[in-house]
Structure 1
Amino acid sequence: MKIEVRLFAYFREGRKKKYFMEIDEKIVTPKSIIESLNIEVEEVAILLINGRDGKVDQLLKDGDILSMFPPVGGG
């Protein structure tokens, strides 16, 4: 299974902007991807799967695009 992972804002610090992951496991969730990148699940404020709201326990399929954003502030 191939998953594209896109990171935004400070999630990119010390990491790439995009990852193309090849995963052999049959059950893959955003939570397992997040943990493999050494990101705390609680730090992910916005999680999109193929451009739509996603959940950390949602099953991913081959070809999915996972995008993750930390909390952002401003004013």
Structure 2
Amino acid sequence: MPIELNCFATLAPLTPPNSGAFPITAGETVASLVDRLGIPRDEVKIVFVNGVTSDLARPLADGDRVGIFPPVGGG
């Protein structure tokens, strides 16, 4: 079951090379995905699944598009 995965800003270096078809397992959640990627949960500020803001408890499905964003500062 592949998903499309994008990590943004300071998390971009953690994007895996197979992010266009990143494999997940049945029942995997955004939280387990974040853990598997080695991203500290406190570094995740916003998650989008299929263009909709989601939380870490959201279960993932085949073909989902996931975007993970860190806290971003600016001026």
> TM-score under structure 1 normalisation?
0.86
For residues 67 and 56 of structure 2, the distance between their equivalents in structure 1, rounded to whole angstroms, comes to 12
1:50 Cα deviation from its structure 2 partner: 0.5
Deviation at 1:2, TM superposition (A): 1.1
Alpha-carbon separation, structure 2, partners of 1:16 and 1:2:
13
The one-character-per-residue Cα deviations of 1:5-61 (angstroms, maximum 9, x if unpaired) are: 1010010235448712122x3201011111111001111011000111001011111
Residues 15 and 5 of structure 1: CA distance in aligned 2, closer, same or farther (over 3 Å):
closer
1:48-63 alignment runs, 5 A limit = 48-63=48-63
Number of positions where the alignment pairs a residue of Structure 1 with one of Structure 2:
74
For 2:7, the equivalent position in structure 1 comes to: 7
Greater helix content: 2
Identity among equivalent pairs (%): 35
Name the residue aligned to 2:42: 42
RMSD between aligned alpha carbons?
A: 1.7
CA distance in 2, matches of 1:55, 1:22: 20
Is 1:74 the counterpart of 2:36 in the alignment?
Answer: no
